[in-house]
Amino acid sequence: MMLGYLLARAGVTLIVLEKHKDFFRDFRGDTLHPSTFQLMDELGLLRSFLKVYHQELQQLKAVYNGKEVTIADFSHLKVAKPILGLMAQWDFLNFLAEKSAPYPGFQLLREAEVTGLIVENERVQGVKAKRPGGEVEIRAGLVVGTDGRSSIVRKLSNLPVINTGAPIDVLWFRLSRKVGDPGQAFGCFDKGRIMILIDRGDYWQCAYIIVKEGFQEIQARGMEGFHRELAEVAPFIQDRVSELAGWGMISLLSVSIDYLEQWYAEGLLCIGDAAHSMSPIGGVGINLAIQDAVATANILYRPLLEKRKITLSMLKKIQDRRAFPARIVQKMQVFIQNGIMQRKTNIRLQKRLPLFLRLLKRFTQDPCAFCRNGYQA
Ligand SMILES: Cc1cc2nc3c(=O)[nH]c(=O)nc-3n(C[C@H](O)[C@H](O)[C@H](O)COP(=O)(O)OP(=O)(O)OC[C@H]3O[C@@H](n4cnc5c(N)ncnc54)[C@H](O)[C@@H]3O)c2cc1C
């Protein structure tokens, strides 16, 4: 959506395909880093963007073994909004859709699921998509795969994927919010267990980190055991864990960290999670995907406008610009995930604030800031 907006604003004609009929899905994460607010400011959208319901955090707090600690403080950053914003991703995407709609070159096709690539003369020339009325073919000078970590575009393109593995999965569920609850999103750390609670007004969106493929074991221990475990990690939710009355109320989100060796082929480019799928650790994947979109728009808007052939060397420039920050952040995520897993079994380690939290405390930065692109078109 961000790439669609940026290109349409520059005058390019494009179609965004979205397989669902709306953006209303929970499983996406909501954290917007200062780099994204800075971009909105540069695009002249910040004032209207800030009217969309969101929370602003200058500091990130966590409860570690019962004690509250500040793990990040953004207030010293010299940017338009030195905050971490929490905005439901459907609101964010609807905002972009609304801002894109007036541009004559922009078209958003919902309920359009890409199922195939049209390859002719050894070049991707477009896609096949499943629509309510049947299959359609859409031809284009360039196909950009922005279809996330299970990207069909990258699968069909046979671009080699390097899997760095992720030892964690996430359980995703809601619990009600009550008067007297803490006022902002935060993390609870207890004996190597981690739960992140996102304030969504009248409920908490909870993300509970578990060992990869450990959900079956949790289920085998029974719902009551799970309730007890949650209440130990975040004692203030003890009075409502029973709202989780069945396993159907809990979604298992599989986490992966991988990347494409090469993000492009003739007529095709992958960006965002399709090029480098991110773990939820650090809540940074959305912001990296947005920066990929900015770099792509900066490098391609002119040749697209002039209807020049998009060459491999143009696409390589995008990967060269973006692969390094994505890999660095992925390496940090792997480091943190391994630290989390070590703590699950090592009681001595559990007593100390983890190294990554100590480092965060000391060097709070927007992880996307060092790789930010100003929008040029
Ligand atoms: C459990 C979990 C929590 C996370 N929490 C956060 C967080 O708090 N903050 C953060 O910054 N990052 C978070 N991340 C990472 C973040 O979700 C991703 O890095 C980010 O969403 C990538 O953006 P994207 O646009 O590349 O892909 P996505 O956001 O996955 O978007 C892909 C889009 O393509 C559509 N699509 C898929 N297949 C097709 C198809 N065949 N045809 C048409 N459309 C298709 C999908 O419906 C979707 O709208 C989290 C990840 C996980 C697994």
Please, what is the angle between helix 285-305 and helix 2-9, to 10°?
A: 30
| CA of 147, closest atom in ligand 1 | 34
pLDDT of residue 199: 81
- Decide: 367 in ligand 1 pocket, CB within 6 A: no
- Decide: 319 in ligand 1 pocket, CB within 6 A: no
pLDDT of residue 91: 94
Model confidence band, residue 353 (pLDDT cutoffs 50, 70, 90): low
Kindly give the distance from the C-alpha atom of residue 113 to the centroid of ligand 1, in angstroms, as a whole number.
15
CA-closest residue to ligand 1 atom 41 = 114
pLDDT of residue 144: 98
pLDDT of residue 135: 97
- Decide: 28 in ligand 1 pocket, CB within 6 A: yes
DSSP string, 272-284: GGGTEE--STTS-
CB 272 within 8 A of CB 288: yes
Kindly give the distance from the C-alpha atom of residue 83 to the centroid of ligand 1, in angstroms, as a whole number.
22
User: Which alpha helices (H) appear in the chain, and where do they start and end?
Assistant: 2-9, 34-42, 46-49, 89-100, 152-157, 215-221, 223-233, 285-305, 312-345, 347-351, 355-362
Tell me which of 251 and 365 has the higher pLDDT. 251
| pLDDT per residue as tens digits for the range 263-317 | 999 999 999 999 999 988 888 999 999 999 999 999 999 999 999 999 999 999 9
CB 5 within 8 A of CB 101: no
Interacting residues of 6 by C-beta distance below 8 A, sequence separation 6+: 293, 294, 297, 301, 375, 377
Is the pTM of the predicted complex or chain greater than 0.85? yes
| pLDDT per residue as tens digits for the range 208-267 | 999 888 999 999 999 999 999 999 988 899 999 999 999 999 999 888 899 999 999 999
| CA of 146, closest atom in ligand 1 | 26
Interacting residues of 119 by C-beta distance below 8 A, sequence separation 6+: 125
| pLDDT per residue as tens digits for the range 5-57 | 999 999 999 999 999 999 987 667 788 999 999 999 999 999 999 999 998 88
pLDDT of residue 212: 86
- Decide: 272 in ligand 1 pocket, CB within 6 A: yes
pLDDT of residue 109: 98
Q: Map tokens 């930010």 to a residue.
A: 372
pLDDT of residue 71: 72
- Decide: 20 in ligand 1 pocket, CB within 6 A: yes
| CA of 2, closest atom in ligand 1 | 25
Span 354-376, average pLDDT: 56
pLDDT of residue 187: 77
Which of 107-111, 185-189, 200-204, 213-217 has the lowest average pLDDT?
185-189
Tell me which of 61 and 41 has the higher pLDDT. 41
Kindly give the distance from the C-alpha atom of residue 149 to the centroid of ligand 1, in angstroms, as a whole number.
7
- Decide: 34 in ligand 1 pocket, CB within 6 A: no
Model confidence band, residue 368 (pLDDT cutoffs 50, 70, 90): low
**Is the pLDDT score of 373 beyond 70?**
no
Whole-number Cα distances in Å, 46 to 34, 53, 285, 311, 346: 12, 13, 21, 34, 46
Kindly give the distance from the C-alpha atom of residue 147 to the centroid of ligand 1, in angstroms, as a whole number.
7
Kindly give the distance from the C-alpha atom of residue 350 to the centroid of ligand 1, in angstroms, as a whole number.
32
CA-closest residue to ligand 1 atom 39 = 147
Burial of 318 (0-12, 13-18, 19+ CB in 10 A): buried
**Strand-by-strand arrangement of the 268-270 sheet:** 143-145, 268-270, 264-265
Phi-psi region of 345 (alpha: psi -120 to 50; beta: other; left: phi over 0): alpha
pLDDT of residue 193: 82
| CA of 153, closest atom in ligand 1 | 41
DSSP string, 357-375: HHHHHHS---TTGGG----
| pLDDT per residue as tens digits for the range 64-105 | 666 677 777 888 888 989 998 989 899 999 999 999 999 999
What residue type is 18 in one-letter code? Answer: E
- The torsion angles phi and psi of 3, rounded to 5 degrees, stand at -65, -40
Phi-psi region of 157 (alpha: psi -120 to 50; beta: other; left: phi over 0): alpha
Model confidence band, residue 157 (pLDDT cutoffs 50, 70, 90): very high
- Decide: 155 in ligand 1 pocket, CB within 6 A: no
| CA of 33, closest atom in ligand 1 | 11
